[in-house]
Structure 1
Amino acid sequence: MMMLILLFFMFISGLISFALKREHLLLMLLSLEFIVVSLYFIFMVYLKMMNYEYFFSMVFLTMSVCEGTLGLSILVSMIRAYGNDNILTFSFLW
C-alpha cells in the first residue's frame, strides 16, 4: 500500500512540474516522460497485485517510446527553425 502512495505522489509531482514548467518545451517533455514512467510503475504494481500478465505493459512502453521520439523530433525541428525552445518567444503559438 505504501508503494502505491509513493507512485501516486510521483505522478502528482510530475503533473505539478508539467504545469509549472510550461514555458520550455524540453522541460515539458522531461516532465511528461516522468509521468509516463510513474504510470508504468503503477501499471506494473497493479498487474502484479491482480496476477495478470504483463503484455499490456509492453504495449504501453511501445506507445510511450513513440511519444517520446515524436516530442524530441518536434523539439529538434523547432530549434533548427527558430534557434531556441522557449515557447513564449514564438509568435505563431499566440
Structure 2
Amino acid sequence: MNNLFFFMCLVSLIILTLKSKHFLLMLMSLEFLVIYIYFGLFILMIYMNYEYYFIMVFLTMSVCEGTLGLSILVSLIRSYGNDYFQTFNVLW
C-alpha cells in the first residue's frame, strides 16, 4: 500500500514539473495530488478507527480549490486567449 501512495505522489509531481506549459495540465496534476492526499487520509482514518468528519471537510475544501482553479483558467483564457504560461505578464 505504501508503494501505491509513493507512486501516485511521484507521478503527480512529475507531471506537474514536466507539463508546466499549459495551465490546465498543471491544474489536473494538482487535482491528482489532492486525490492522493484524500486517499491517504481515508486509509489513515480507517486504520486508526477515527470518525470521517475531517475527510468531509477536506473534500469540501478540495472541491472549492478545484472550482477556484477552473475559474482562474476561464478568466485567463478570456483575457489572453490561451493557457500558455509564456504569454502571461506577471508584473502587469
Normalising by structure 1, report the TM-score. Answer: 0.91
> What amino acid is aligned across from residue 51 of structure 2 in structure 1?
E
Deviation at 1:4, TM superposition (A): 2.7
Per-residue deviation, residues 17-38 of structure 1 (Å, max 9, x unmatched): 1111111100000000000001
Unaligned stretches of 5+ residues in structure 2: none
Cα distance between partner residues in 1 of 2:17 and 2:90: 17
Q: After superposition, where does 1:45-64 map in structure 2 within 5 Å?
A: 45-64=43-62
Matched residue, 1:72: 70
Matched residue, 1:19: 17
Q: Deviating runs (4+, > 3 A) in structure 1?
A: none
| Aligned-pair Cα RMSD in Å | 1.1
> What amino acid is aligned across from residue 90 of structure 2 in structure 1?
L
> What amino acid is aligned across from residue 82 of structure 1 in structure 2?
Y
Deviation at 1:93, TM superposition (A): 2.6
Percent identity, aligned pairs only, is 60
Matched residue, 1:35: 33
> What amino acid is aligned across from residue 66 of structure 1 in structure 2?
C
Normalising by structure 2, report the TM-score. Answer: 0.93
